Amino acid sequence: MGRPEAFSRLLARDLPASLVVFLVALPLCMGIAIASGVPPEKGLLTGIIGGLIVGMLAGSPLQVSGPAAGLAVIVVELVRQHGPGMLGPVLLVAGALQILAGGLRLGQWFRAISPALVHGMLAGIGILIVLAQFHVMLDAKPQPSGLANLQAIPDALANAFVLPSVPPAGGGPAMAGTVGLATILAMLAWDRLKPAPLRLVPGALVGVMAGAILAAASGWPIQRVATAANLMDAVTWPAWRDLARLGEPDILVSCCVVALIASTETLLSAAAVDRMHTGPRSRFNRELAAQGIGNMLCGLIGALPMTGVIVRSSANVQAGAVSRASTILHGLWLLVLVALLPGLLHLVPTAALAGVLVITGWRLVSVQHVRSLAKYGAAPVAIYLVTVLVIVTTDLLTGVLVGLVLTILQVLLKATRLQVRLAGDPQANEVALELHGAATFIGLPQLARTLDAVPAGAALRLKIDRLTYIDHTCLELLEDWAHQSAAKGCRLIVDWAALKERYRAAGALAVP
């Protein structure tokens, strides 16, 4: 394609798509930053880097990167425990781990994580976001845990709508709650009723505008977004004292958790984006390395961690983007707005951004995901529910580890499950021993009991067409049975050479 044609495509497809993505990203970048316990400009910095830098390097050209709700829970806990200064060093290490994983070509392995665990993790994060942002929507400070936020909701509602409480400095929680509720209702109404010509206008933008208009028209003294007058004032370089703490065990665990969750969410999003269009496919290892570079840059300037995000990416595809130019331009528009019109952001009520995140968090708890898991049995649903419950009642890391252990146990149970059945007519002096599944030492007692039930004088034919694996303990049991039962007139009919070749069992066996 020549340069004139490429430029024409840019103007016709990527430029309009970049504006749509910009309008989707703007409230989310600020809202996720506030939900993470840091100033909103930190989220905008991440969105700018995700567009301008990662957009140029990404292995998934149509994916949009920026701050993600899935990491907000981790960041707020990290900031609460170790202070905001520790965020930068953690991102430097997490980004380096992502670059290393991309260089080692581990991208596909991140996609192998159980869907039950991934969906459970996202649902747990979504519930935590809803519980925390409910309080922010009332201009109150959220509690440090999900259970504490849940327990504080009745008192928060009573203070807002029952008790006459109007603090002179910050307005009343009822006023802020009304703005947040108006934002939520506007978003839901727009998503359901928006006219076809305006289908690309994001509901989050409509909701924030509705909340801002209500706050401005009423003159209510509620909290509004406070950003630095100069973008460079938001940049915080890592301090040496914080870098020196990177050797602490809990800090290293935080680095690994950020790298793991950011990588998993990014690559799952990239795979989903690939299903939305017929253009170039994602190069997962390159995408992983690009995300690592982006996160290291975010750590260098003290911004939020980034991932590839499905909401902005799907908006990009639906708006007609055909190249990475759309992603890059959306980062440019964020930079222009923050650099030239920072005062415009001060008109946005904090409660409106919290309302956007309440909807965002709620959508992470997808009933459709549970239905899709139920098609594969009760075990995936149980892993999903336990992961969600542990995340909400304890913390994200504990919930993910519990879900991972349950997933491994499920795999082990399936890998070691053996069905043994005798078939045929004993009167005809020949029966078949049917083995289905994996014959390991765990199934040895069941196999031994079945062999003991073979009638004297019968020939036993071993059927292995539905056998996935057999270990040396079961092979030796069959060999021993053949030798010991020969005195009873029994014989074992099996192609030992084919059995050993097929399953490559350890040890040499003497053919009976």
Supply φ then ψ for residue 403, to 5 degrees.
-60, -40
The answer to whether residue 492 sits within a structural domain is yes
Are residues 334 and 471 located together in one domain of the fold? Answer: no
CATH of the domain at 491: 3.30.750.24
pLDDT digits (tens, 9 = 90+) for 341-376: 888 888 899 999 999 999 999 988 888 888 888 888
57 CB-side CA count, 13 A:
20
Cα(260)–Cα(348) distance, integer angstroms:
33
Are residues 336 and 423 located together in one domain of the fold? Answer: no
pLDDT above 80: residue 428:
no
Are residues 343 and 453 located together in one domain of the fold? Answer: no
Are residues 129 and 195 located together in one domain of the fold? Answer: yes
The answer to whether residue 2 sits within a structural domain is no
Of 377, 410, 443, the last residue of a domain is 410
The answer to whether residue 75 sits within a structural domain is yes
pLDDT above 90: residue 424:
no
pLDDT above 90: residue 9:
no
Q: Where are the alpha helices (DSSP H) in 194-324?
A: 203-218, 240-243, 249-274, 284-301, 310-318
pLDDT above 90: residue 387:
yes
More confident residue, 458 or 248: 248
What's the average model confidence in pLDDT over 1-15? 64
Q: What is the pLDDT of residue 411?
A: 80
The answer to whether residue 303 sits within a structural domain is yes
Which of 25-34, 110-119, 210-219, 354-363 shows the lowest per-residue confidence on average (mean pLDDT)? Answer: 110-119
Q: Where are the alpha helices (DSSP H) in 137-170?
A: 146-161
Are residues 280 and 218 located together in one domain of the fold? Answer: yes
More confident residue, 90 or 323: 90
Are residues 396 and 425 located together in one domain of the fold? Answer: no
Most confident of 11-20, 331-340, 460-469: 331-340
Are residues 322 and 403 located together in one domain of the fold? Answer: yes
pLDDT digits (tens, 9 = 90+) for 285-305: 999 999 999 999 999 999 999
Q: What is the CA radius of gyration of the chain?
A: 29
Range of the domain at 131: 13-135+155-162+172-410
Q: What total of structural domains would you count in the chain?
A: 2
Are residues 443 and 366 located together in one domain of the fold? Answer: no
Residue 250: CB atoms within 10 A of its CB come to 11
The answer to whether residue 203 sits within a structural domain is yes
pLDDT bucket at 438, cuts 50 / 70 / 90: confident
Are residues 452 and 314 located together in one domain of the fold? Answer: no
The answer to whether residue 148 sits within a structural domain is no
The answer to whether residue 434 sits within a structural domain is yes
For the chain, the maximum distance between any two Cα atoms, rounded to a whole number of angstroms, is: 99
Are residues 192 and 214 located together in one domain of the fold? Answer: yes
Query: What percent of the chain lies above the pLDDT cut of 90?
Result: 42
Supply φ then ψ for residue 207, to 5 degrees.
-65, -45
What's the average model confidence in pLDDT over 167-192? 84
Of 359, 382, 410, the last residue of a domain is 410
Are residues 195 and 313 located together in one domain of the fold? Answer: yes
Are residues 361 and 436 located together in one domain of the fold? Answer: no
pTM over 0.85: no
- The residues pairing with 228 across neighbouring beta strands, listed in sequence order, are none
Of 410, 428, 453, the last residue of a domain is 410
Supply φ then ψ for residue 222, to 5 degrees.
-105, 165
The answer to whether residue 6 sits within a structural domain is no
